Amino acid sequence: MKRAVFIERDAVLNEVRSGPKQQITPLPLEEFKIIQSADAPLRKLKAAGFILIVTTNQPGLSRGYQSRRELDRMHDMLRRAFPLDDIMVCPHDESDHCPCRKPRPGLLIEAAFKWHLNLDHSFVISNKWQDAEAARTAGCTSLLLESPYVGQVHHDFVLSDLATIVDKILRLKQHVEVA
């Protein structure tokens, strides 16, 4: 079985604005700015054999303030910039009570089925608690970037930057292979 690294796109692969309680997702295409420095760390993960999957909540789709066409163009930009295998989107609003809106683990479970993944040996990268909670429920290891949105739920590691997170994942992977 394969292993994956799940990556929240906002604040890891593309820039966001900071809000008081949560960060503000870019909605128009012209506000969507790629974080180029993420490319080298992601290529290290790809070279180590990980499947790279972006997961993201985009409730603007069902609330009507995010157009599917603009979102598709943003995700085309991500695919051109980074060696991604898949991008999985929850389009629902909280009131839809879907299984895929993070912190629920539906996107991870769906990806495991689609890509034949071992979730116990897979990792989640984000800067917020919702992804750590989804990782915990799905059995993945979570690594968060330091941010105001880390919260109080269980997470495995909080580290300062993406390069450090990727080096940590590569060391953890080695431990599993030796054991």
Strands 51-57, 4-8: pairing is parallel
- Show the beta-strand stretches assigned E in 9-159: 17-18, 23-24, 51-57, 86-90, 123-126, 141-145, 157-159
Contact with Zn ion (CB under 5 A) among 98, 153, 158, 159 = 98
59 DSSP 8-state letter: T
Q: CB under 5 A: which stretch of 23-31, 87-95, 114-122, 158-166 binds Zn ion?
A: 87-95
- x-or-dash string of contact with Zn ion, 35-74, rule CB under 5 A: ----------------------------------------
Q: How far is the CB of 99 from Zn ion (least distance, A)?
A: 7
The two tokens of residue 108 are 């991870």
List alpha helices for 16-128, DSSP H: 39-47, 60-63, 68-81, 106-115
From 20-28, 32-40, 41-49, 83-91, give the range in contact with Zn ion by CB under 5 A. Answer: 83-91
Q: What are the residues binding Zn ion (CB under 5 A)? A: 90, 92, 98, 100-101
